[in-house]
Amino acid sequence: MRVVHYLNQFFGGLGGEEHAGSGLEARDGAVGPGKLLEQLLGADCQVVTTLVCGDNYAVENQEAVTAAVLEKVRAAQADLFVAGPCFMAGRYGMAAGALCAAVQSKLNIPAVTAMAGENPGADLYREFLYIVDSGDNGAKMREVLARMADLAQKLLRHETIGSPKDEGYLSRGLIRDEFVERTSGQRLVDMIVRKVTGEAFDTEMRPTQFAPVPKPAAIADLTKAKFLLVTDGGLVPVGNPDKIQGSAATRWGVYSIKNCQGLDGKDYEISHGGYDPQFVRQDPDRLVPLDVMRDLEREGVIGSLHNEFISTSGLSNPLSNTRRMGREMAAKAKELGIDAIILTST
C-alpha cells in the first residue's frame, strides 16, 4: 500500500514559527514521525511521499495548497493519505482536516489525521473524517501514531469501524441505530441512580464543558476608571505590521489611537475570516468604538481611555491558545493600570 503523509514545517524539519510561511514541498519517502508511522502500518505499507508545508502558508493559501496536494497524491498513486498528528497546533489541524477531507471526497482515498479535541480543525472536520484523539501532549507521539495506523489499516481493509471510545477517535456527532436490551428510560434511571450514589457511569451524550470564569467586582466609580479597547475582530493598521493570522491567530497587536477622535477606514484593514468586513472597512468605529468612547471621556462619564487598542483574530482558535493570549492581554492591562476593558467581537 502506498501512503502519502502531510506534515507542517516543525515536524517536517524546516523549523519553528519563523518557517510558518514556507510553501508546499514534496519529499521522497518518510520524514520525521512518518518513519515511525511507516513501521506501525506494517510491511505491506510504504510512505512514498511526504508533503511539508508551513502552517501560515497552508491556511492562507488553502485553495491552492489543496489543489496541489490532490495532484501530488494522485501522481503518487496513493492508497492512503495521513496528516499529522497535529496535537494542539490550530493552523496545522485546520490544514490537515481540509486536506484529508479533500483527498477523501475528491480521490476516494481513505484519510486519517489526529489532533486534540480543542483543535479548531477538530470542530471543522470531525463530521467528515476519522480524527484520532491525540490529546495535547506531543510526547505521546508513538501512542497516537499507533492508533492512527490501526484505524488506517481498518479503513484500507474496509472493516467496520467501532465507536469513538473503542477506536480512539473523536466523536463525529453522528447518531447510529443500535439494538439494546434496555429502553432509554431504564438506562436513564440507572445513570441517575449511579450518579446520586457516587458510582461510575457512562453518559450517552457528553456535552462540551468549560471551566467557570469568576465574575469580576463591579467598578465603583466610572468617572475615575481607565478603559482599554480590545477586539478579536481582526482590525489592524494597513499592512498588518504584526502579521496577525486571519484564523487560528497566535499573535495580537497593540496600536496607537493617541490624539484620534475616531478611526478612518483608509488607515486600517481586517485580518479575520468568517464574516463580511465591508462595513468595518467603511467605518472601523463599528468594531472598535473609539468615537463613542471619546464622547464619554469628554462628557466625564468615564475617567479616561487608554491611547492604544489591542487586536487579534478570534476565528477558529483552540481554547488553549485563546487562553494564553487572554492571559497576556490581561497582564498588559494590569501593567497599564487599566480598570475596565471593552471587548468587541464580530
Q: Is the pLDDT of residue 320 over 90?
A: no
As a whole number, mean pLDDT of residues 270-295 equals: 93
For the segment 31-62, what is each residue's pLDDT rounded down to a tens digit? Answer: 999 999 999 998 899 999 999 999 989 988 98
- pLDDT given for residue 276 in this prediction: 87
Question: What's the mean pLDDT in 326-345?
Answer: 94
**What per-residue confidence (pLDDT) applies to 181?**
85
Question: What whole-number distance in Å separates Cα of residue 314 and Cα of residue 61?
Answer: 19
DSSP structure string for 239-292: T-TT---SSS----EEEE-TT-SS--GGGEEE---SS--HHHHH-GGGTS-HHH
Mean pLDDT, residues 285-291 taken together: 97
The DSSP secondary structure of 14-78, one letter per residue, reads S-SGGGTT---EEEES--THHHHHHHHH-TT-EEEEEEEE-HHHHHHTHHHHHHHHHHHHHHTT-
| The predicted structure's pLDDT at residue 237 | 97
Class (C level, CATH) for 2-167: alpha beta
| Angle, vertex CA 244, rays to CA 272 and CA 114, nearest 5 | 80
Average pLDDT, the chain: 90
Question: Model pTM?
Answer: 0.63
**Alpha carbon of 96 to those of 9, 194, 316: distances in Å?**
13, 40, 14
Q: What is the percent of the chain with per-residue pLDDT over 70, rounded to a whole number?
A: 97
pLDDT for 208: 65
Domain limits, the chain = 2-167, 222-344
Give the confidence band of 174 by pLDDT, cuts at 50, 70, 90: low
pLDDT score, position 242: 93
Could you tell me what percent of the chain has a pLDDT over 90?
65
Of 25-29, 99-103, 179-183, which gets the smallest average pLDDT?
179-183
Residue type, 89: A
pLDDT of residue 175: 62
- CA dist 42 and 132 (Å) reads 19
pLDDT of residue 209: 67
Taking residues 74-91, report their average pLDDT: 92
* Residue 92 one-letter amino acid: Y
The average pLDDT across 281-309 equals: 97
